[in-house]
């Protein structure tokens, strides 16, 4: 399988979720991340630590999709090489819908990994859609983090409430019946 990551549209926090899901399907032979790695790209550290090949796509004009074109060309090169049976495109960008359709038409198993905001035109262009934000929230360690955060909030809430009550008492105690400071 080839994993192609659009770093402009997917957070690196989802990488482990993507890999776990893909490894259930087979071996991830090719891992590439596309973006401007000269800028403060949050994928840089993940690419280094996880053996992902970073593909530099300079942002020559602000707001243009230079990454999308590089990724599409690379996908077709991999497709025609015949090295893989499946593709995963990690993005929520609907511009990749036609690429996904073309890879499926060519007999490749197609996975899209995107967030809940992914347009239907993209998610329906795949054999399998991984809704990353939902899968991430469902992970056991994430649930433990959420429970821990909730416990922390519950611990802090009464102390804030007590401070507020104390401030109101001071205000009430320092005013006469007409609301004037004594």
Report the pLDDT value the prediction gives residue 181, as an integer from 0 to 100: 46
Q: Estimate to the nearest angstrom the gap between the alpha carbon of 106 and the chain centroid.
A: 28
Q: What is the pTM of this model?
A: 0.75
pLDDT digits (tens, 9 = 90+) for 41-95: 899 999 999 999 999 987 766 655 678 999 999 999 999 999 999 999 999 999 9
What are the φ and ψ backbone dihedral angles of 153, each rounded to 5 degrees? -65, -40
Residue position matching structure tokens 């401007």: 36
């Amino acid at each position: 399988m080839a994993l192609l990551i659009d770093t402009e549209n997917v957070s690196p926090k989802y990488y482990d979720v993507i890999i776990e899901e893909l490894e259930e399907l087979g071996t991830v032979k090719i891992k590439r991340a596309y973006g401007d790695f000269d800028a403060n790209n949050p994928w840089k550290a993940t690419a280094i630590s996880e053996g992902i090949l970073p593909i530099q796509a300079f942002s020559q004009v602000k707001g243009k999709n230079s990454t999308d074109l590089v990724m599409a060309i690379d996908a077709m090169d991999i497709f025609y090489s015949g090295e893989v049976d499946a593709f995963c495109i990690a993005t929520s960008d609907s511009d990749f819908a036609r690429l996904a359709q073309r890879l499926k038409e060519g007999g490749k198993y197609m996975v899209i990994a995107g967030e809940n905001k992914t347009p239907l035109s993209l998610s329906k262009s795949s054999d399998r859609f991984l809704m990353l934000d939902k899968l991430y929230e469902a992970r056991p360690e994430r649930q433990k983090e959420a429970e821990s955060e909730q416990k922390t909030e519950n611990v802090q809430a009464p102390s804030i409430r007590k401070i507020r009550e104390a401030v109101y008492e001071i205000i009430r105690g320092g005013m006469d019946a007409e609301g004037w400071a004594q």
